[in-house]
Structure 1
Amino acid sequence: MDRSIPGAKEYFESFSKKTHFQRDTLEKAYRLENLSKEINRHPELKEGLVLKGGTALNFLYFRYPRLSIDLDFNFIAGIEKEEKDKERPRIDESLRAIFRFKGYDYETQTEYGLEKYFLRYINSSGNIDRIKVEINFLQRLSLLGVEKRKFLSPFEESDLALNTLKGPELFAGKMLALVNRLAPRDLYDIYTLQRERIKLDKILLRKIFIFFGCLARRDFREYHANDIERITEQDIRRKLLPLLRKEERLKAGDMIETVRPFLKDMFDFTPEESEYINRFFEADFRPEILFGDLLDSTDLEKHPMVIWKQRHLKEWLAKQKKT
């Protein structure tokens, strides 16, 4: 709710009583929805950015079982580097204009392929709070295409619909995030996937998980399903429970027991999948071995992340031969 609107504290307090979410976290969810609306009104941003991550899962696929803390987008307006280099400054300036218009102070962090915005505001309780908005400019090629889904708001009924990744690609990214950073909210999202019994093609899901896993900065071969056992009860209390309804007091052990078998299936590679992984880390990219007839892999050699990763692998392998 904009600072100019009076009664914000009472507004969020009323929805806190109705939904059982914490008031300040609800306000953050409101602000995320509000920012999404502004982005969706901008013609270039609406078509050029696709929502992914926890906000997409919990507000587009699920009916907000947990609240979210950030907005993550992929830039998809052009696969070629020249197109990206042309559009990136425009995307940046358009987002900055929205942040200024909505009254946010912000800082930026630019990395290769990533643009991060850290928005700062005074919430209705009078406390400083923050929102992160991140744009990935390397994931410019979606494996399955995008779809528009209705935003399920915990506030008034909304006609907001956003472009997002299709289910298998979205959930594969979330599984990789889980084993990579071991964040309680990622564990909860995969737990919710199991609890809600969302129907997904598990074979396609595993192959997309492998595809993106090999593109991760860390060596995908070092990941294991049992890594999630390192998530502690203290992690859950500190980092997850503030995002849940007050009566939902989940335990790390219970969620891990539910998620572990599913993750183990994702790491149960077929001979073809193992061959793909081994070849990939020998700088021999062969997507047809991984996907077969499941999807057209013709354009995957043009994927910016594939180009980046394979170049670095070739450089590393060349150095290894010299030593």
Structure 2
Amino acid sequence: MFDTSGFNPRLIEKIYRISDILQKIYTTTYTKKRLSLYGGTALNFLHFKDIPRLSIDIDFNYRDQQQNDWAQERNEIDTIIKKILHDLHYNNDDIAIQPSYPLTRFDIGYKTADGEKDSLKIEIGYLRRIPVLSKHILLPFTHLKTGDEFSVQTPQREELFGNKFCTVLYRYGEENIASSRDLFDLYTISKIKLNTTLFDVAMVIDSLMRKEPRLYDRNPDTIIKNVMIDDQLKNLIRNGHVPADIKEKTQVFITQHLNNSKDKYKTLIDTFFDDHRFEPTLLKHHDLLNHHITKHPSILWNLKQLEEKKKR
């Protein structure tokens, strides 16, 4: 059972609800094969030890089954999730669905145990339909209230770590509004003994799904300096305790791996942005990548944007 001491009871209720939803999704044959748990919930509830912070949203990436029209499968997934929410006693009026090309977002309202209004969010991304690394994995998830255990599909941890690294550097475009939660997650990653090769490969490939500046040209000093350590983060950490060295240690970690990206992967990155070609064989360890990586929708989308920019 999860030790809830030091946390806001309303947040505990929310993560119990998240556990309920995840259990339903991953005990349903159709969705458990097609949805890979991503983001802060995957990191903190699966890949990090002892849940260093709470995560109050659910992020999935759709996994293409290479069999059917993924748009049709998307409709089926939406139908199943609505049924799951109904089974968990959420009404139609509680559920708002916001579809767009890259993702589907469910905003789910509810009344807390003390009668107040609250909500949680589910997002399903459809541009990262292919894992970056060779394959996804299954990990045990323990329901945070009941203790029930079930298997959850998720990327290899270094893929998630590489994504979080790039999220800190790129997420909001502007260097002065990086998320304190993302900073905390990257700080946690910096303390873990990594497979450095896997991490760097995943980090570099993830950076090719984003606009310039190129990975090795990012300025971590400014980005980290301007992160606000706010209540959004403090409320998610037990007793609100934020480590004193969070910025210093994270900045050292970022700088180290940015230097690696320039030393080892500059040719791959420059070929992508200058020549508009994705050549994974330029990676010494390209065998670590998913064998469909050249068809990755986010990479192809970014290449298309580069080509269109060149024509203007």
TM value normalised by structure 2: 0.87
* Whole-angstrom distance in 2 between the partners of 1:263 and 1:94: 40
- Are 2:267 and 1:281 aligned? no
Aligned to 1:9: none
Aligned to 1:258: 249
In structure 2, do the counterparts of structure 1 residues 220 and 153 end up closer, same or farther at CA, with 3 Å as the change threshold?
farther
In structure 2, do the counterparts of structure 1 residues 261 and 84 end up closer, same or farther at CA, with 3 Å as the change threshold?
same
Matches within 5 A, 1:36-75: 36-62=22-48, 63-75=50-62
Contact between 1:47 and 1:77, CA under 8 Å: does it hold in 2?
no
Matches within 5 A, 1:218-297: 219-221=213-215, 223-226=218-221, 227-233=223-229, 235=230, 238-246=231-239, 248-250=240-242, 254-268=245-259, 269-282=261-274, 283-296=276-289
In structure 2, do the counterparts of structure 1 residues 125 and 217 end up closer, same or farther at CA, with 3 Å as the change threshold?
farther
- Are 2:201 and 1:207 aligned? yes
Residues 65-106 of structure 1: CA distance to partner in whole angstroms, max 9, x if unpaired? 2111111111113357x6212211111111122222223312
Structure with greater helix percent:
1
Contact between 1:50 and 1:164, CA under 8 Å: does it hold in 2?
yes
Aligned to 1:93: 79
Contact between 1:48 and 1:76, CA under 8 Å: does it hold in 2?
yes
Which secondary structure state, in structure 2, belongs to the residue aligned with residue 170 of structure 1?
helix
Q: CA RMSD in A?
A: 2.2
Contact between 2:20 and 2:143, CA under 8 Å: does it hold in 1?
no
In structure 2, do the counterparts of structure 1 residues 66 and 220 end up closer, same or farther at CA, with 3 Å as the change threshold?
same
Aligned to 1:316: 309
In structure 2, do the counterparts of structure 1 residues 88 and 297 end up closer, same or farther at CA, with 3 Å as the change threshold?
closer
* Whole-angstrom distance in 1 between the partners of 2:135 and 2:74: 21
Matches within 5 A, 1:36-185: 36-62=22-48, 63-79=50-66, 83-104=69-90, 105-142=94-131, 143-181=133-171, 182-185=178-181
Which secondary structure state, in structure 2, belongs to the residue aligned with residue 120 of structure 1?
strand
Letter in 2 for 1:300: I
Which secondary structure state, in structure 2, belongs to the residue aligned with residue 41 of structure 1?
coil
Letter in 2 for 1:311: K
Contact between 1:280 and 1:286, CA under 8 Å: does it hold in 2?
yes
- Are 2:14 and 1:28 aligned? yes
* Whole-angstrom distance in 2 between the partners of 1:98 and 1:110: 18
Between the aligned residues of both structures, percent identity stands at 29
The alignment of Structure 1 onto Structure 2 pairs a total of residues equal to 297
Aligned to 2:185: 189
* Whole-angstrom distance in 2 between the partners of 1:93 and 1:219: 39
Which secondary structure state, in structure 1, belongs to the residue aligned with residue 69 of structure 2?
helix
* Whole-angstrom distance in 2 between the partners of 1:49 and 1:36: 10
Contact between 2:190 and 2:250, CA under 8 Å: does it hold in 1?
yes
In structure 2, do the counterparts of structure 1 residues 272 and 263 end up closer, same or farther at CA, with 3 Å as the change threshold?
closer
Letter in 2 for 1:167: R
* Whole-angstrom distance in 2 between the partners of 1:154 and 1:298: 36
Residues 172-230 of structure 1: CA distance to partner in whole angstroms, max 9, x if unpaired? 111122223421111111222234xx222113212211111120256444633221221
Which secondary structure state, in structure 2, belongs to the residue aligned with residue 215 of structure 1?
coil
TM value normalised by structure 1: 0.85
